[in-house]
């Protein structure tokens, strides 16, 4: 999710908070998706060729009514985050996700990551991710997600890490579901 809308995420209530050294930046949760991709579609894979999946947790803040810190307010940035968790295909079923907690440590300080990122001014590795799937309502999953990264405005290590907190409804999309494919193709064709 590189900060632009894919047009297929849940937009129900929720929040996206950046706990920074100089205060909290508070946003409503905008689009939020749990996307299942098979290894032949860009998933991280798993045991056995073609049978692994990556479950992507993707969240985009809503800029409307955002409360930003003084040092970033004028820039008007909108954070987004994504974490990919590789697992066996059977484990990615919507019912099997409910009640589970996923820990994604990310990469050591100073290294980059493609599986856990926060986007603000630049992309930053997102570490110490803890994603809990709290409940399900139809094709929506209620999630609580925490993690941390370098401060979003000071990348030199001079400030404490920024802690992120995301909570809200995420739309579940499995790439094998024809409705999800139509939705994805429609979003790509409209841009």
pLDDT of 112 reads 59
d(CA 123, CA 147): 14
pLDDT of 190 reads 41
Encoded tokens for 189? 């064709």
Exposure letters 20-55 (e unless 16+ CB within 10 A, then b): beeeebbbbbbbbbbbbbbbeeebbbbeeeeebbbb
Residues in the chain where the model's pLDDT stays below 50: 1-7, 42, 45-50, 180-191
Cα→Cα distances 45→16, 75, 77, 124, Å? 29, 38, 33, 23
**Model confidence over 2-20: pLDDT tens digits?**
333 334 555 557 999 999 9
Global pTM reads 0.81
């Amino acid at each position: 999710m590189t900060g632009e809308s894919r047009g297929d995420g849940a937009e129900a209530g929720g929040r996206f908070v950046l706990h920074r050294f100089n205060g909290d930046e508070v946003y409503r949760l905008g689009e939020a998706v749990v996307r299942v991709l098979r290894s032949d579609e860009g998933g991280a894979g798993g045991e056995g060729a073609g049978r692994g999946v990556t479950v992507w947790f993707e969240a985009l803040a809503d800029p409307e009514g955002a409360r930003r810190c003084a040092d970033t307010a004028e820039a008007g940035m909108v954070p987004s985050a994504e974490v990919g968790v590789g697992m066996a295909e059977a484990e990615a079923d919507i019912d099997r996700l409910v009640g589970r907690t996923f820990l994604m440590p990310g990469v050591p300080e100073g290294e980059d990551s493609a599986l856990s990122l926060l986007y603000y001014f630049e992309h930053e590795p997102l570490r110490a991710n803890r994603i809990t799937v709290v409940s399900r309502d139809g094709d929506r999953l209620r999630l609580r997600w925490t993690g941390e990264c370098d401060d979003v405005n000071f990348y030199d290590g001079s400030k404490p890490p920024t802690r992120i907190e995301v909570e809200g409804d995420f739309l579940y999309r499995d790439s094998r579901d024809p409705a999800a494919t139509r939705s994805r193709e429609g979003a790509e064709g409209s841009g």
